[in-house]
C-alpha cells in the first residue's frame, strides 16, 4: 500500500527558491490537467509542506492569495531569510511501529485531516520534491471515482480495512484494500493470505458478525457491495465437492444480499479521525496560482473536501459520517445529525438551486449565512465519506448569531434545535416582504373556518422548507375565570414539549391542627389533580378531616419552624408547592369580622454536648395559628386563655394543677365558648373565642390558671410579657395581618406538656421505597401527550388580558392538536426546577417506534386523514445536568438499519436498543398511505 523509502536530502544549489516554486507550479498545473482515475497521489506532512512554502516565497513581498487558495496554511514567509527545508519527514503521519500484519503495509494515524496534518501531491510533484530533498516514508494513494454519478475524482486516503475470519480454522488477518477493488480481487487476496485455492472458499458479508450476503458476484466492487470500514469478512472453507453457489444458510440458497439486521454489532464502527471518504477519499483540487504567482496549496479548506453529489443510497457509505467533538459540542452534533438525516431536508439542501430561496433581506434572519453554513455541512455529511468532520465553520456561525452557544460549555440540545429550526426558517423564508395581518377572534364562527384563516395568515408571512416539513397548528382556548369569556385562537407550532407526568394526580400530606383544644394535630394524605389549584387541596382536606360547615382551613407553608407564607389564594397552582415542603392546615371559624391571625411560635433553649445552656431562645416545632378579633378589646389574659385552650390536648397527665387548668380552659362559661357548637354561626363562635374568652366576673377562675411564659411582639419588634398585667388591653399594629406570640418552653414546662406531636411535621411527599419504585415505572408517550393537552391555569407570569373584563386574568388554557406536520418533533421535558436547582427526570418513556397513532388526538374531526407516524431519529441525554452527554439514534431509511451517532463514532444498533430512559427529543415522520411513496432520503 505504501512504498517505504528514506534517503538523505539531495541539494540543488543551482536552483533558487524562486525557480523551485515556478518549477513545482508548472508541474502541478500539468498534472492537474491530465488527472484521471487510477493516478497516484502522495501524502506529505503539512508541517514540512508549510516550511517549503515559506522557503520558496521568502522573496515575495505583500503576497495575496485568491479566494481559492488555502491561505490559512500557505501564508507567505517573513521578510527575513528562510532556511532551506531538510529532507521530507512523514514520520508524524504514521504509527511509531510498523504493523505486525504485513498485508496492511504502513498504517497512518486514523485521525489525520487534510490541510491540518497533511496535503496531497500529484505523483509528478512528489517525484520532483523527492529528487531534491529525499526522505520519506513514501505514502502513495490512488485516485478513485466517487459520487452517485461516479464522475468525480477523489484520493482514497484511507482504503478499506477489513478483518478476515477463516472458518472452521478460526484464523484472522487484517488487510487494506480499495473499495473500488472487486469481490474477485478480495477472493484472490484472501486465498493468498491463508494459502487456499479459489474453489475451496466462499466469502460472506459478515457485517455485525452475521451472514448478510454471499459475495459471489466477482465483478462487483466492494463499494457496490456496501462493505464498510473495519467490517468483518467471513472466509468459509468448504468441501471441494460442494458448489459455492449452493451454500445453504438457514436452510435456503443465499445468492443475493440480505441486509435484514438479525442482531446488533458486537463492535463499534469507529469513525474517529481521518480525512475524507470511506475512511477517506479526498477530492482533488486544482493547484492554481494567484496573480502574484505564489504557489497555493492543493487543497482549499480542511472542511471542504467533498463533491456535491446527491444523498447517497445503498451501495455507498453516505450518511455515516461523524462529527468531531470540538469541546462539549455533543449537544450540537446530536441535533445536527438528526436534522441532516431528515430526508426532506437532505433532499432540499442537496439541490443545487436551494440557495435561490435564501432570504438576505429578512430582518429576523441571519442574512442567509446560517442556511448556507448548514447546507454546506449537510452536503459534507452526506458525501460518500466515512471520515469525521470538524464542524468549526458552522460553530463559528452559530456563535456569531447565537452567542449563548459560544465557548465550550455544555448546552441544551433541544434549545439549540429550536434556534436552528427558527433560524433556518427565517433565512429560507420565501416571503421577502411580510404583510401586516391583524388576527380576528373566533366570535362564534366555525372552528374550521377560523383555523384555515389563521393558517392562511401564517403562510402569508412564513413560507419555507421548515414550515413545509415541521410546522403544525394547534387550537388554543382561553376561559376567563371571572366573566367566562372564551377566546379561541389557532397558533402554529414547530415541536411539542411534553411534560413527563406518570399520573394525572398527586399525593400530598398535610398536618391539620385544631385551634379549639379538642384534638391533637393529625396528618392527612389526600389525592389532588397534579395540575390543580389550592382550592382543590383545601377541598380534599376538608373532606378528609370532616370539616364543619362553620369552619374553614387556613393553609400555610412551614419552614425553619416558622410560617413562611399563607396559601390563601384559591387559584394558586399546586405546582408551586414542592414535594419537600412542609404544610400545615388550621381549622378556624368562618367569620366576617375584622380578625388577625394569632401565630403561636414555640421556642426552647438548646444544650451543647457538655449540657451547658446556650444563651437565647430558638424556634422549634410547628407554630399554631388561630383567629383573634380586632373589633373588641383583647387583654393579655385573653391571650393566656386562648393559648391554654390551644395547648390543652398536649397536657401529659391530669394532676391537681393540670385538672384545674383543664377544667377552667374547657369550661364553656369561663371561656365564653359555649356557643361554639356545630349549629352556631361562625361570627358568634369567633367572637366568643377571642373577645369574650374570659368573663369579668370569673376572677376566681383567672387565678386558678397558671401563667404561661408568653411574649407578644409589638409593632416596634419589642417583646411584651403576657404573664403580667392580664387586664391590660393590647394594641395591634394595623400594618400586619398577624399577631406574633412566643411561648418559651422551659424544662419544667416541658415536664407538663408533650410537644412531640408538634415536632414531627411530614413533608408533602416523602420519597420512600414505594414512591421511588412508582417513579421508575414506564410512562407512555400518549400519557405525556394527554397531560400536555389537558386544561390548566396559566402561570401568574403569563396572565391573560380579558377583552371583556378589561383586566389581566389567570385564565384556564386548553390546547388541542388541529393540524400535524410531515415531521413531528417531540421534546420530552426531562429538566425541571426545584426551587433554585435544575434537575433531570430519569423517567423511562415508552414511545412507539412504529405506528404512533395520533388520529384520536386531532380536534379537527372533519380531517379524515389517518395520523400515523414512524420514528426515524432521536436525541439521547445521559448523565446529569452538568456532566451529561448527548448522542443520537438514527435510522438510515434506505438500509432499514439503526445507528448510534456518538460524535465521531458510529455503531450499528438493534431496534430494541432505541427506546431507553435517555430519550430526550424524538423525530417522527408521517407514514405515507401512498404505496408508491419511496421512504428514503434521496
Closest CA to 530 of 846, 781, 773, 788: 788
User: How much of the chain exceeds pLDDT 70, in percent?
Assistant: 74
Does residue 746 carry a pLDDT above 90? Answer: no
**Phi/psi class of residue 244: alpha, beta or left (left: φ > 0; alpha: ψ in -120 to 50)?**
alpha
93 — pLDDT class (breaks 50, 70, 90): confident
Q: Which three cell numbers stand for residue 317?
A: 457509505
Task: Cis check for the bond before 137: say yes or no (omega within 30 of 0).
Answer: yes
- Taking only the tens place, the pLDDT of each residue in 749-790 is 888 888 888 888 888 887 544 444 444 456 889 989 988 898
> Could you give the CA distance from residue 858 to residue 545 in angstroms, rounded to a whole number?
42
- Give the residue, 61 or 654, on which the prediction is more confident: 654
CB 850 within 8 A of CB 781: no
Asked if the model's pLDDT at residue 653 lies above 50, the reply is yes
Burial degree of 502 (CB within 10 A; 0-12, 13-18, 19+): buried
Distance CA 687, CA 691 (A): 6
Cell 429550536 sits on residue: 418
Q: pLDDT-derived band of residue 609, with 50, 70 and 90 as boundaries? A: low
Report the candidate in 403, 400, 329, 340 with the shortest Cα–Cα distance to residue 375: 340
Strands 845-846, 738-744: pairing is unpaired
Q: What is the mean pLDDT of residues 554-563?
A: 91
- Closest of 388, 383, 311 to residue 345, by C-alpha: 311
Q: Does the N-terminal peptide bond of residue 168 adopt cis geometry, omega within 30 degrees of 0? A: yes
Residue with cell 421556642: 603
Cα dihedral sign, 726-728-734-735: negative
Residue 405: what pLDDT?
A: 86
Burial of 38 (0-12, 13-18, 19+ CB in 10 A): exposed
162-193 exposure pattern, b = at least 16 Cβ within 10 A, e = fewer? bebbbeeeeeebbbbbbbbbbbeebbebbbeb
Mean pLDDT (whole number) for 792-808? 80
pLDDT of 776? 47
Report whether the peptide linkage leading into residue 571 is cis, meaning its omega lies within 30 degrees of zero: no
> How far is the C-alpha of 259 from the C-alpha of 213, rounded, in Å?
7
List CB contacts of 810: < 8 A, sequence separation 6 or more.
481, 571, 793, 794, 796, 799, 800
pLDDT band at 341 (very low <50, low <70, confident <90, very high): very high
Is 80 exceeded by the pLDDT of residue 247? no
Decide if 865 contacts 825 (C-beta within 8 A). no
Sequence-separated (6 or more) residues with CB below 8 Å from residue 21: 56, 57, 293, 294, 295
Report the share of the chain in percent with pLDDT over 90. Answer: 21
Residue 796, pLDDT score: 64
Using only C-alpha atoms, what is the Rg of the chain?
40
Segment 660-714, tens digit of pLDDT: 444 444 443 333 333 444 445 444 454 444 444 333 333 334 434 578 888 888 8
Residues 6+ apart with CB under 8 A from 456: none
Name the pLDDT band for 630 (thresholds 50, 70, 90).
Answer: confident
Nearest to 301 by CA among 67, 110, 145: 67
Say whether 889 is catalytic.
no
Average pLDDT over residues 471-498: 91
Q: How far is CA 125 from CA 129, 236, 276, in A?
A: 6, 44, 22
DSSP 250: T
pLDDT at 147 over 70: no
Q: Which three cell numbers stand for residue 604?
A: 426552647
Residue 96 or residue 344, greater confidence: 344
Return the pLDDT at 696: 34
Burial class (CB in 10 A: 0-12, 13-18, 19+), 115: buried
Which cell is 516 given? 379549639
- Alpha carbon of residue 576 to chain centroid: 24
Residue pair 805/483 in contact (Cβ under 8 Å)? The answer is yes
Residue 623: per-residue pLDDT? 92
Which of 191-195, 247-251, 426-430, 481-485 is predicted least confidently? 247-251
Run of H or E including 127: helix 123-133
Per the model's pLDDT, the better-predicted residue between 278 and 226 turns out to be 226
Residues 389 and 453 sit within 8 Å (Cβ to Cβ) = no
pLDDT band at 299 (very low <50, low <70, confident <90, very high): very low
- Is 330 annotated in the active site? yes
Selecting among 330, 338, 534, 685, the annotated active-site residue is 330
Q: Where are the beta strands (DSSP E) in 408-482?
A: 472-479
CA distance linking residue 385 with residue 275, whole number of Å: 9
Measured distance CA(862)–CA(476) in Å, rounded? 18
* Range with lowest mean pLDDT among 83-92, 280-289, 798-807: 280-289
pLDDT > 50? residue 260: no
pTM over 0.85: no
pLDDT of 461 reads 94
Q: What is the pLDDT of residue 850?
A: 93
CA dist list (Å): 613 to 9, 605, 609, 719, 745: 90, 7, 10, 22, 14
| Alpha-carbon span 507 to 541, nearest angstrom | 12
Q: 151: pLDDT confidence band, cut at 50, 70 and 90?
A: low
Task: State the pLDDT at residue 59.
Answer: 67
The C-alpha atoms of residue 644 and residue 638 are separated, in whole angstroms, by 10
Residue 629 — very low, low, confident or very high, per pLDDT cuts 50/70/90? confident
| pLDDT of res. 431 | 93
pLDDT of residue 145: 74
DSSP 3-state percent helix, strand, coil across the chain (nearest 5)? 25, 25, 50
Helices vs. strands in the chain: H and E counts, helices first? 21, 43
Mean pLDDT of 296-314: 32
Residue entry with cell 496492511: 104
Query: In this structure, are residues 295 and 56 in contact, taking their beta carbons and an 8 Å threshold?
Result: yes
The angle subtended at Cα 506 by Cα 502 and Cα 508, nearest 5°, is 145
Catalytic residue among 191, 805, 885, 905: 885
Residue 726, pLDDT score: 80
Give the pLDDT band (50/70/90) at residue 255.
Answer: very low
Q: What is the mean pLDDT of residues 233-249?
A: 59
Average model confidence (pLDDT) for the chain?
A: 76
Amino acid at each position: 500500500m505504501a512504498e517505504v523509502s528514506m534517503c538523505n536530502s539531495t541539494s540543488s544549489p543551482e536552483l533558487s527558491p524562486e525557480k523551485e516554486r515556478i518549477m513545482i507550479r508548472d508541474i502541478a498545473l500539468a498534472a492537474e490537467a491530465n488527472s484521471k482515475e487510477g493516478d497516484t497521489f502522495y501524502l506529505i506532512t503539512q508541517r514540512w509542506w508549510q516550511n517549503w512554502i515559506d522557503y520558496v516565497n521568502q522573496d515575495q513581498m505583500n503576497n495575496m492569495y485568491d479566494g481559492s487558495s488555502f491561505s490559512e496554511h500557505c501564508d507567505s514567509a517573513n521578510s527575513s531569510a528562510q532556511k532551506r527545508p531538510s529532507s521530507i519527514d512523514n514520520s508524524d503521519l504514521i504509527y511509531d511501529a510498523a504493523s505486525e500484519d504485513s498485508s496492511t503495509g504502513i498504517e497512518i494515524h486514523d485521525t489525520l485531516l487534510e490541510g491540518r496534518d497533511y496535503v496531497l501531491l500529484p505523483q509528478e510533484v512528489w517525484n520532483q520534491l523527492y529528487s531534491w530533498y529525499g526522505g520519506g516514508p513514501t505514502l502513495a494513494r490512488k485516485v478513485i471515482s466517487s459520487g452517485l454519478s461516479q464522475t468525480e475524482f477523489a484520493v482514497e486516503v484511507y482504503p478499506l480495512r477489513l478483518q478476515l475470519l477463516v472458518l472452521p480454522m478460526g484464523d484472522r488477518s487484517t488487510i487494506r484494500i480499495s473499495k473500488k477493488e472487486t469481490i474477485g480481487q478480495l477472493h484472490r487476496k484472501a486465498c493468498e493470505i491463508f494459502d487456499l485455492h479459489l474453489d475451496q472458499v466462499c466469502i460472506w458479508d459478515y457485517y455485525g458478525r452475521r451472514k448478510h450476503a454471499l459475495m459471489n458476484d466477482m465483478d462487483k466492487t466492494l463499494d457496490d457491495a456496501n462493505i464498510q470500514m473495519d467490517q468483518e469478512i467471513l472466509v468459509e472453507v468448504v468441501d471441494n465437492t460442494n458448489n459455492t453457489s449452493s451454500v445453504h444458510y438457514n436452510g435456503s440458497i443465499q445468492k443475493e444480499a440480505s441486509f435484514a439486521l438479525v442482531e446488533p454489532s458486537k463492535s463499534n464502527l469507529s469513525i474517529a479521525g481521518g480525512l475524507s471518504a470511506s475512511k477517506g477519499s479526498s477530492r482533488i483540487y486544482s493547484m492554481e496560482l494567484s496573480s502574484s504567482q505564489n504557489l497555493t496549496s492543493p487543497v482549499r479548506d480542511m472542511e471542504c473536501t467533498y463533491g456535491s453529489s446527491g444523498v447517497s443510497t445503498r451501495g455507498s457509505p453516505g450518511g455515516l459520517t461523524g462529527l468531531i467533538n470540538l469541546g462539549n459540542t455533543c449537544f450540537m452534533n446530536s441535533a445536527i445529525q438528526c436534522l441532516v438525516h431528515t430526508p426532506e431536508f437532505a433532499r432540499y439542501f442537496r439541490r443545487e438551486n436551494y440557495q435561490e430561496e435564501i432570504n438576505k433581506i429578512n430582518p429576523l434572519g441571519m442574512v442567509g449565512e446560517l442556511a448556507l453554513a448548514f447546507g454546506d455541512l449537510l452536503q459534507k455529511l452526506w458525501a460518500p465519506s466515512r471520515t469525521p468532520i470538524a464542524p468549526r465553520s458552522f460553530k463559528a456561525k452559530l456563535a456569531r448569531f447565537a452567542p449563548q452557544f459560544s465557548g465550550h460549555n455544555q448546552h441544551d440540545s433541544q434549545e439549540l434545535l429550536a434556534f436552528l429550526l427558527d433560524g433556518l426558517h427565517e433565512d429560507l423564508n420565501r416571503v421577502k416582504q411580510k404583510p401586516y395581518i391583524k388576527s380576528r377572534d373566533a366570535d362564534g364562527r366555525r372552528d374550521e373556518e377560523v383555523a384555515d384563516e389563521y393558517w392562511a395568515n401564517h403562510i402569508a408571512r412564513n413560507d419555507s422548507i421548515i414550515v413545509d416539513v415541521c410546522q403544525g397548528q394547534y387550537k388554543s382556548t382561553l376561559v376567563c375565570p371571572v366573566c367566562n369569556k372564551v377566546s379561541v385562537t389557532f397558533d402554529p407550532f414547530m415541536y411539542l414539549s411534553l411534560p413527563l407526568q406518570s399520573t394525572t394526580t398527586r399525593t400530598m400530606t398535610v398536618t391539620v391542627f385544631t385551634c379549639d383544644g379538642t384534638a391533637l394535630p393529625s396528618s392527612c394524605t389526600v389525592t389532588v389533580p397534579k395540575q390543580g389549584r389550592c382550592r382543590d387541596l383545601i377541598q380534599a382536606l376538608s373532606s378528609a378531616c370532616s370539616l364543619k360547615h362553620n369552619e374553614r382551613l387556613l393553609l400555610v407553608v412551614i419552614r425553619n419552624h416558622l410560617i413562611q407564607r399563607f396559601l390563601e389564594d384559591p387559584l394558586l397552582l399546586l405546582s408551586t408547592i414542592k414535594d419537600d415542603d412542609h404544610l400545615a392546615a388550621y381549622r378556624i371559624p368562618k367569620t366576617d369580622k375584622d380578625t388577625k391571625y394569632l401565630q403561636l411560635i414555640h421556642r426552647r433553649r438548646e444544650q451543647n454536648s457538655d449540657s451547658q445552656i446556650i444563651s437565647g431562645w430558638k424556634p422549634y416545632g410547628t407554630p399554631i395559628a388561630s383567629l383573634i378579633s380586632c373589633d373588641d378589646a383583647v387583654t393579655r389574659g385573653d391571650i393566656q386563655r386562648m393559648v391554654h385552650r390551644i395547648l390543652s390536648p398536649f397536657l401529659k397527665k391530669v394532676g391537681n394543677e393540670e385538672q384545674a387548668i383543664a377544667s377552667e380552659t374547657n369550661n364553656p362559661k369561663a371561656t365564653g365558648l359555649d356557643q361554639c357548637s356545630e349549629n352556631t354561626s361562625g361570627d358568634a363562635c369567633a367572637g366568643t373565642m377571642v373577645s369574650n374568652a374570659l368573663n369579668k366576673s370569673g376572677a376566681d377562675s383567672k387565678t386558678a390558671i397558671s401563667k404561661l411564659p408568653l411574649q407578644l411582639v409589638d409593632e416596634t419588634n419589642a417583646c411584651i410579657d403576657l404573664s403580667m398585667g392580664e387586664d391590660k388591653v393590647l394594641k395591634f399594629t394595623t400594618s400586619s395581618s398577624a399577631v406574633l406570640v412566643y411561648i418559651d418552653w422551659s424544662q419544667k414546662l416541658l415536664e407538663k406538656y408533650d410537644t412531640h406531636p408538634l415536632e414531627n411535621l411530614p413533608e408533602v411527599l416523602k420519597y420512600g421505597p414505594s414512591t421511588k419504585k412508582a417513579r421508575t415505572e414506564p410512562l407512555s408517550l400518549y400519557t405525556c401527550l394527554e397531560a400536555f393537552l389537558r386544561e390548566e391555569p396559566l402561570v401568574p407570569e403569563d396572565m391573560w388580558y380579558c377583552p371583556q373584563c378589561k383586566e389581566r386574568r389567570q385564565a384556564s388554557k386548553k390546547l388541542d392538536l388541529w393540524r400535524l406536520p410531515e415531521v413531528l418533533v417531540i421534546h420530552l421535558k426531562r429538566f425541571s426546577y426545584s426551587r433554585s436547582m435544575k434537575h433531570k427526570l430519569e423517567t423511562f418513556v415508552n414511545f412507539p417506534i412504529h405506528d404512533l397513532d395520533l388520529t384520536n388526538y386531532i380536534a379537527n374531526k372533519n380531517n379524515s386523514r389517518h395520523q400515523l407516524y414512524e420514528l426515524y431519529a432521536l436525541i439521547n441525554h445521559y448523565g446529569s445536568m452538568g456532566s451529561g452527554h448527548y448522542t443520537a439514534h438514527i435510522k438510515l431509511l434506505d438500509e432499514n438499519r439503526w445507528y448510534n451517532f456518538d460524535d465521531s463514532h458510529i455503531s450499528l444498533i438493534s431496534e430494541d436498543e432505541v427506546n431507553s430512559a435517555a430519550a430526550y427529543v424524538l423525530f417522527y415522520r408521517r407514514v405515507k398511505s401512498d404505496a408508491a411513496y419511496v421512504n428514503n432520503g434521496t
